[in-house]
Amino acid sequence: MALTLEDPRVVEFDVRTDEMLVNMGPQHPSTHGVLRLLLRTDGEVVHEVTPHIGYLHRCAEKIGENLTGPQWIPYTDRMDYLAAMNMNLGQALTFEKLLDIEVPEKAMTLRVIIAELGRVASHLVGMGAYGLDLGTFSPFLYAFREREIILDLFEEVCGARLTYSYITIGGATHDLPGLITIPPGLAQLTGHDPNMKLEWKDACLMFLDWLEKRIAEYHALLTRNAIFIKRTAGLGAMSGEMAISYGCTGPVLRGSGVDFDLRRDGEPIYTRMYKGYDFNIPVAPFAGVPGIPSEVLVGDNWCRFFVRMLEVVESIKLVRQGLDKYPSATGTHRVPFKMNTKLPVDECYLETECPRGQMGFYIIGDGQAEPLRARAKSSCFCNLSITGPLCEGVLLADVPSIVGSLDIVMGEIDR
Amino acid sequence: MTVQEIHALLTQQFGSDVITGLNTEAKDPWIEVAPSSMADVATFLKSNEQLRFDSLNDLTGVDLLETDAKLAAKFPYEPAIVVVYHLYSFALKHRLTVKVKTPRWKDDVEGQLPEVPSVSDIWAIADWHEREAYDLVGINFIGHPNLVRILCPDDWEGHPLRKDYQFPEEYHGVRNL
């Protein structure tokens, strides 16, 4: 509404006291990429939040219809670029389900190691960036220091640091490497000679040993930090029913007290990878975990954050078990798969547990090598849809706290 | 419940005019529902004690069309728009795929979007999924509270995931070469 001189409010006070529309993003640093939120505010209180997305839409599904399965894998890297390995895995498993491809035990073990390392890297960014949203800079730097070593390890595995295209249909493009030079970051942190040669597996174990000791520090910096608790606990709480209705998955769902993880409850083609592994699934209200602050409500920002922190520990356990099993695993790292393999006249949908939630791929074949429809159902897309209801009636400063706790990646939402 | 049992239950409730198909051969067995009754069937799927499909994992549109004349002879599907619902029950741990098939254009008039009842009041996430299906595939979800584009800009023309979609040569003075 345009202001006019006839408007009595303007003449009398020269300030408007009614509701105001505030535009947050798409270049706002705490919107995790190009997310635009339109806020209807009354003073400091937010009455309505409308997310506007699509600024990073790259037509991944249309492109997928014109490429074969292996050719589409690099595009899945660029969806959730913070957990590209897990995206590769979801896409590869969907094609394997459609084509009835049996993956050897060695490839499955390798996939567990890589996917769980990817989950650690992704959750580290989630933790650091969430601290940044709430105004603390140090955890972000520590998180990136740790993640750097995982990226170095991945670089030794496949040559890429961010967009790996490593896990592919039938297994993985290469076997895990043997002797490597110690990653520079790891040499510096552990005080080893930077020219030291060691097995990739040993470098990985050295890193996990080092990382495990740091987790208490993150808890001291963020989880048990009085300011952090005040900014997150009791805020943005949602029930399990609400989370299910809005399609929320992953840590957002488990933070609301729904005990569900596809690594345990998913389809057999996915769960058989994790058969024989010992790991827990952290679910709010975290029975048996000491020191939960009294302000915490099940399903609030703090719970979502804490689920991720506990999942890092579980993923470390999984990587260790995977590395133990790897030398004795039978088979090869890959069964051959021809680029131009024709897809059957059939279709399948498969969801996998990515760090941010359940990422689904839906492939329809029509007898050609290129699928008739290549659909990527994004987990963050569903998690973000809850923003509007969660942000009703909160203070303006709490909006970044709620959006940050959902840990979104715009590349995956917009595809 | 198996898909055969669900199919039997749905047929008993709605009759075979509404529950028009069952495919148990597919990797994910599916049930086909007449478009006009989808909202009623969805309500039943969510509320029935034996079904309790409380989660809509995915909702998407598919354009069944082969534009290449050479390949069209071998194309295994009849031209149609299909809306696919992937359901999961957290309570009972079972899955179901539901399909709704409509003509590619309403009344076969090109440009008139086919109509399917919205399920956004049954599963909240359907709100955004239906907006995406409208935006990219071109399906008019009747009863949707706010059916506007979600990924493409508001003034975008056409629905990119249609197989006969023409790529624009220009958008706001930016040439697409």
pLDDT digit string, tens, across residues B130-151: 999 999 999 999 999 999 999 9
Give B71 to chain A, closest Cα distance, Å: 9
Q: How far is CA B76 from CA A324, A363, A367, B42, B72, in A?
A: 47, 15, 8, 28, 9
Q: Give the residue from A57, A93, A238, A383 with the most B CB atoms within 10 Å of its CB, the best one to mutate.
A: A57
Q: Over range A279-306, report the average pLDDT.
A: 87
Return the percentage of chain A with pLDDT > 70, whole number.
95
* Average pLDDT estimate for B71-92: 88
Torsion, Cα A37 A43 A46 A47, to 10 degrees, reads -110
Q: Do A349 and B127 touch (CB under 8 A)?
A: no
Which among B64, B68, B74, B81 is positioned nearest to B140, based on CA atoms?
A: B81
For chain A, what is the domain count? 1
- Please check whether residue A111 is in contact with residue A96, taking contact to mean a CB–CB distance below 8 angstroms: no
Contact B64 A372 (CB under 8 A): yes
CB-based burial of residue A124 (10 Å sphere; 0-12 exposed, 13-18 middle, 19+ buried)? buried
Which of B60, B66, B139 would you mutate first to test chain A, the one with the most A CBs within 10 A?
B60
Q: Which residue has the tokens 């567990």?
A: A112
Strand A357-364, strand A347-354: pairing: antiparallel
Q: Is the pLDDT of residue A43 over 90?
A: no
**Band of pLDDT at residue B177, cut at 50, 70 and 90:** low
Q: Which of A15-19, A183-187, A366-370 has the lowest mean pLDDT?
A: A15-19
Q: How far away is chain B from the Cα of A312, in angstroms, using its nearest Cα?
A: 25
**CB atoms inside a 10 Å sphere around CB A53:** 25
* pLDDT per residue as tens digits for the range A179-227: 888 888 888 888 888 898 999 999 999 999 999 988 988 888 888 888 8
Percent of chain B residues topping a pLDDT of 90: 36
CB contact under 8 A, B160 and A62: yes
- Is A67 part of a structural domain of the chain? yes
Residue A12, in any domain of the structure: no
> What residue in A sits closest to B25 (Cα-Cα)?
A346
Pair B41, B18: CB distance under 8 Å: yes
Chain A, chain B: beta-carbon pairs less than 8 Å apart: 93
Q: Count H helices, E strands: chain A? A: 18, 10
pLDDT of B171 reads: 86
* Least confident interval from A255-259, A285-289, A407-411: A285-289
CATH number reported for the structural domain that contains residue A341 in this entry: 1.10.645.10
Quick check: is A3 in a domain?
no
Q: How many other β-carbons are positioned within 10 Å of the β-carbon of residue B36?
A: 14
| A255 part of a folded domain | yes
Instruction: Answer yes or no: is pLDDT of A53 > 60.
Output: yes
Asked if residue A132 has pLDDT above 90, the reply is no
Measured between alpha carbons, how far is A317 from A322 in angstroms, rounded to an integer? 9
**Chain mean pLDDT for chain A:** 88
Q: How far is A138 from chain B (nearest CA, A)?
A: 35
Q: Would you state the pLDDT for residue A3?
A: 55
Q: Give A351's contacts in chain B (Cβ within 8 Å).
A: 57
pLDDT of residue A118: 92
Provide the domain limits for residue A218. 19-414
pLDDT of residue A249: 92
Does any domain span residue A154? yes
Domains of chain B listed by start with CATH number: 3-175 (3.30.460.80)
- Residues B95/B100/B104/B107 CA torsion (nearest 10 deg): -170
pLDDT at A16: 60
Q: Do residues B124 and A30 touch, judged by C-beta distance below 8 A?
A: no
- Least confident interval from A8-12, A292-296, A324-328, B47-51: A8-12
Residues in A touching B77 (Cβ below 8 Å): 366, 372
Q: A61 to chain B: which residues are within 8 Å by CB?
A: 136, 161
What kind and span of H or E run contains A199? Answer: strand A197-199
Of B58, B123, B161, the CB nearest to A362: B58
Whether B15 has a pLDDT exceeding 90, the answer reads: no
Are B77 and A381 within 8 A, CB to CB? no
Best B25, B28, B155 residue to mutate vs chain A (most A CBs within 10 Å): B28
Asked whether residue A360 is assigned to any structural domain, the reply reads yes
Q: What is the pLDDT of residue A9?
A: 53
Tell me the residue type at A17.
Answer: T
CA-based nearest residue in chain A for residue B65: A372
- The neighbouring-strand residues paired with A29 are none
